[in-house]
Structures are given as C-alpha cells and as structure tokens.
C-alpha cells in the first residue's frame, strides 16, 4: 500500500536522527578511515568522510529539486506558466546589451542587472507562499510575531511605496501611497497582486539609464524627508523583501512542524544529539571547539531537516505532480531518499567499525 507524504516525512526524519546518532559514535581518528563498500553497481573503497559527504550532496541536490518542482507546478496552476530561470522576454530585452560600452556581467548594463535582481528576489519571495496550506498563513511562528498573511499585507503596502517613489526620479513626485488596502483579502489575491506589482516595478526600473542610478533626489515621506538614489532605493527594496521572505518561510515551517511533529523546528539539533560529542576543552579544534565528527553530524542533521521543510505545510497534490514530464515528483524524491538511506547509508557505518583501514595520505 502506498504511503502518504506525512508518513514518509516521519520515516525520513527518523532515518536522519538515527544516522546522526550512529555517526556520533565515531571519533575524529575514524574520519579518514577507508573500507571496502559493496554497491549495486560494484565495489569500491570509501572513507567515512566521503560516505557522509556523498550523503549530504544527495540530500542537498534533492532538496533543491523538490523546491523547484513545487514552485513550477504551483506557478502552472495559478498563472498558466512556469517560473523560468530567466525573466520573460519583454522584461529582459527592455535593457539590451550595450555594444559601445559593455558594463556589468555579460555586457548588460548595471541597471539591467539590478532589474534582474529585483525580478528574482521578488519571485523567490512568492515561492515561500504558493502551494502553502492557507491555514498556516494565519498562524504566527511565535506569539507576538507576524503571521504569513500579515507579511503579505505588509508587502502590498511596501509595493505601493515603491510604485510611488519612481515618480520622484522622473518628475516632481508626491508621496501618496495607500496603506491598508489589502486588509481582509484572500491570500491568492494578495499573491497575485504582489506578483503584478513586482513585474511593474521591473518594467518601470528598466525605463531608466545607468546614468540615473546614482542621481540623488529629495523625497518627502509622511514621516520626514531624505535624499536617496535610484540604486539605494532598489537595494533597500531588495533587503526588505529578503528579510520578509525569511520571515514567511520561518512562520510556515514552525507552524507546520508543530502540527506534524508536535515540536518547533529548532536551529540546532536536540541536546541528546549535539552533546554526544561534547566540546573538547583540553584540545579544542573546529568551530566552537567541536570535533570534526560532530560538525559532520550537525551538517547532516540540518540538511535532512531542511529537506523536510520543503514539504511541511504544502498541498500534497503539488508533491505528487512532476515539474516536467519524465522528472520525479516531490513524493518520488522523498521515497528515493528513504530507499537510498535504508539500503546504503544507515548500514554504511558497519565496515568502518570492523574492516576499516586508516588512509595513508
């Protein structure tokens, strides 16, 4: 009988915790010990460090694959298009290459590069929301913090500010943003409104020239006056969006993690894991004086839970649909990782306890 995604997530979480437990029973002197490994495709010598690094690479590659699949599937459902690695033609071609004086990466103008940053950062912000269980967006990570909905409503207000700000660089501007216009609107409406505002912001930005980037103008805000530049304004916008993108992600992860596992997703492993290899006071080395084994274990713990974070709070149907025909769905990736760790990784440590030999390097 096929397992549902919450069951697979619980199984993978247990595998990661067991893997970390096992790894922390070794010493640093075992890290470069080699042993003969039997794989389906043949036999080869591997060091303990190499086995762990291969496991980390596998988890991190598939974590990115899961996120990409979810975002592409959801973009298709919402807007009938995929989130491309490049901006649409009508955006990227508004600031063509400058044949007379090539500037910026690949000969594009500095303004074009800035516009692309705005486009990508804005859509990365949206990727934290699309396909997420809406009830999670109503719940803050902790009491007193903003919920996902409140972050989205704030971002609508932010986009109003920047839409108005461009008038100062083209004519005599007046600061008249409309705050609070998004209160009570449905979350898909908020997401669509922010997406449209991001594309408009990019189009407006690309109407300027490189020579406009560092020209100062005096802006009258409702809270005061200040001089700013086009470059400075856009860099402030990028900072604002990246901060709120992390805030959205954290709120969703914490709310969903509590529902699934009955605990918060902490930034560090539980005490019973991290204290199995304590700080060595007599001969400290590595970050914070921890041993190399402890650092490898912490990396695997964090990587495994970051992969789980791609699933929590997400509509399960999104994880059952591949990004493109012939590719794996998110669920298939998780099933693959469980099979891989069960067959090759969880038992991978046994040879280093009995047959291992120290590297001659």
What CA–CA distances, in Å, run from 328 to 11, 89, 187, 281, 320? 19, 28, 29, 47, 9
Looking at the chain, the whole-number percentage of residues with pLDDT higher than 90 is 1
Pair 116, 161 in one domain: yes
Average pLDDT over residues 11-37: 85
Between 95 and 239, the more confident residue is 239
Q: Looking at the structure, tell me whether residues 11 and 46 fall in a common domain.
A: yes
The reported pLDDT for the residue numbered 266 is: 56
Indicate if 65 and 99 belong to the same structural domain: no
Same domain as 219, residue 106: yes
Q: What is the pLDDT of residue 83?
A: 60
Which pLDDT score is estimated for 94? 42
Clarify whether residues 4 and 36 are in a common domain: yes
pTM of the model: 0.62
CATH of the domain at 98: 1.20.120.450
pLDDT tens digit sequence for 140-190: 877 788 888 889 988 988 888 887 777 777 765 555 555 555 566 788 888
Total number of domains in the chain = 2
- Residue 295's Cβ-count burial label (10 Å; 0-12, 13-18, 19+) is middle
Task: Indicate whether 107 and 248 sit together in one domain.
Answer: yes
The residue from 209, 240, 261 where one domain ends is 261
Residues 112 and 219 in one domain: yes
Kindly state whether residues 118 and 149 are assigned to the same domain. yes
Q: How confident is the model at residue 335 (pLDDT cuts 50, 70, 90)?
A: very high
Q: Is 354 found in the same domain as 221?
A: no
Residues 233 and 343 in one domain: no
Indicate if 137 and 63 belong to the same structural domain.
no
Which residue, 261, 277, 308, sits at the end of a domain? 261
Residues 21 and 102 in one domain: no
Domain extent for 207? 86-261
Which of these three, 212, 240, 261, is where a domain ends? Answer: 261
């Amino acid at each position: 009988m096929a397992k549902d995604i919450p069951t697979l997530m619980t199984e993978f979480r247990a595998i990661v915790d067991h893997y970390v437990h096992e790894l922390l029973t070794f010493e640093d002197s075992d890290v470069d010990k080699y042993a003969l490994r039997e794989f389906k495709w043949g036999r080869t010598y591997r060091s303990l460090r190499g086995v762990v690094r291969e496991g980390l690479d596998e988890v991190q590659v598939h974590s990115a694959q899961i996120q990409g699949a979810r975002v592409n599937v959801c973009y298709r459902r919402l807007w009938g298009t995929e989130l491309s690695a490049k901006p649409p033609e009508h955006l990227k071609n508004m600031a063509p290459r400058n044949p007379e004086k090539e500037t910026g990466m690949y000969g594009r103008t500095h303004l074009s590069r800035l516009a692309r940053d705005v486009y990508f950062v804005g859509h990365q912000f949206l990727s934290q929301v699309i396909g997420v269980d809406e009830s999670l967006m109503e719940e803050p990570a902790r009491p007193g913090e903003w919920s996902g909905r409140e972050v989205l409503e704030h971002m609508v207000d932010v986009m109003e500010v920047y839409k108005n700000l461009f008038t100062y660089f083209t004519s005599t501007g007046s600061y008249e943003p409309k705050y609070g216009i998004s209160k009570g609107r449905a979350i898909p409406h908020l997401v669509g409104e922010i997406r449209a505002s991001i594309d408009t912001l990019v189009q407006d930005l690309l109407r300027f020239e490189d020579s406009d980037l560092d020209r100062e103008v005096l802006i009258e805000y409702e809270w005061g006056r200040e001089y700013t530049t086009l470059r400075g304004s856009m860099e402030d916008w990028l900072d604002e969006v990246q901060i709120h993108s992390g805030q959205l992600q954290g709120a969703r992860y914490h709310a969903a993690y509590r529902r699934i596992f009955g605990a918060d997703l902490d930034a560090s492993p539980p005490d019973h894991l991290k204290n199995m290899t304590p700080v060595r006071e007599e001969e400290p080395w590595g970050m914070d004086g921890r041993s190399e084994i402890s650092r490898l274990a912490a990396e695997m713990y964090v990587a495994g839970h970051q992969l789980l974070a791609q699933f929590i709070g997400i509509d399960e149907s999104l994880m059952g649909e591949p990004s493109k025909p012939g590719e794996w769905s998110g669920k298939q990736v998780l099933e693959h990782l469980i099979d891989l760790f069960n067959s090759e990784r969880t038992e991978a440590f046994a040879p280093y306890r009995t047959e291992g030999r120290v590297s001659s390097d």
